[in-house]
């Protein structure tokens, strides 16, 4: 799996890692998204651990991703060690989702998660990847996301 060990769990925004939850709440307030927390269809968190080989041993690199899914929005936040969390959001009616394991890229780099396309950028349309573990919470997120996109259509 691309050198990552991913673990996904379902949680609430209150039980999400504090830095991730704060970043999501700040983003919601800054973009006037209202109280999406109570409308959440799914809330979860993935911890991705990668061991990098170095000259004198291995360095462990950890990334955390928080996910909040509502009937209208997919909001996710990513934090790497010692960096400020980055929040992205997409309107469900404007995106397409593909299981990474079904993508052409999977043949070259095996990993687990979803590809999101249709994200507006300054240069046109962009894509994003959200890594997910093998746990039932990850499958629940995938299923709930597909259903929410279909309903938002």
Bridge partners of 68, per DSSP, are 43, 75
The residue range of the domain holding 96 is 4-152
Q: Which CA distances in Å does 70 have to 67, 100, 108, 150?
A: 10, 22, 33, 13
At 149, phi and psi to the nearest 5? Answer: -65, -45
Strand pairing report for 4-10 and 113-121: unpaired
Q: What is the pLDDT of residue 61?
A: 86
Please list the pLDDT of the chain residue by residue as tens digits (153 residues): 457 899 999 999 999 999 999 999 999 999 988 888 888 999 999 999 986 766 666 677 899 999 999 999 999 999 998 899 999 999 999 999 999 998 888 888 889 999 999 877 666 778 899 999 999 999 999 999 999 999 997
CB-based contact 146:99 (threshold 8 Å) = no
Q: What is the pLDDT of residue 57?
A: 60
> By C-alpha distance, which of 111, 124, 109, 115 is closest to 142?
115
CB-based contact 129:2 (threshold 8 Å) = no
Q: What is the pLDDT of residue 106?
A: 86
CB-based contact 80:65 (threshold 8 Å) = no
Overall domain count for the chain: 1
CA atoms within 13 Å, Cβ hemisphere of 152: 20
CATH of the domain at 24: 2.30.29
């Amino acid at each position: 799996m691309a050198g990552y060990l991913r673990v996904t769990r379902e949680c609430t925004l209150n039980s999400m890692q504090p830095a991730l939850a704060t970043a999501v709440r700040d983003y919601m307030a800054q973009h006037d998204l209202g109280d999406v927390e109570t409308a959440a269809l799914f809330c979860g968190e993935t911890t991705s651990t990668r061991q990098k080989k170095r000259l004198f041993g291995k360095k462990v690199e950890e990334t955390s991703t928080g996910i909040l899914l509502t009937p209208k929005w997919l909001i996710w936040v990513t934090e790497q060690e010692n960096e400020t969390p980055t929040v992205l959001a997409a309107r469900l009616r404007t995106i397409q989702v593909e299981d990474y394991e079904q993508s052409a890229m999977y043949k070259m780099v095996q990993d687990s998660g979803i590809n999101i396309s249709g994200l507006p950028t300054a240069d046109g349309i962009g894509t994003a990847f959200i890594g997910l573990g093998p746990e039932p919470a990850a499958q629940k997120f995938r299923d709930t996301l597909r259903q929410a996109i279909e309903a938002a259509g």
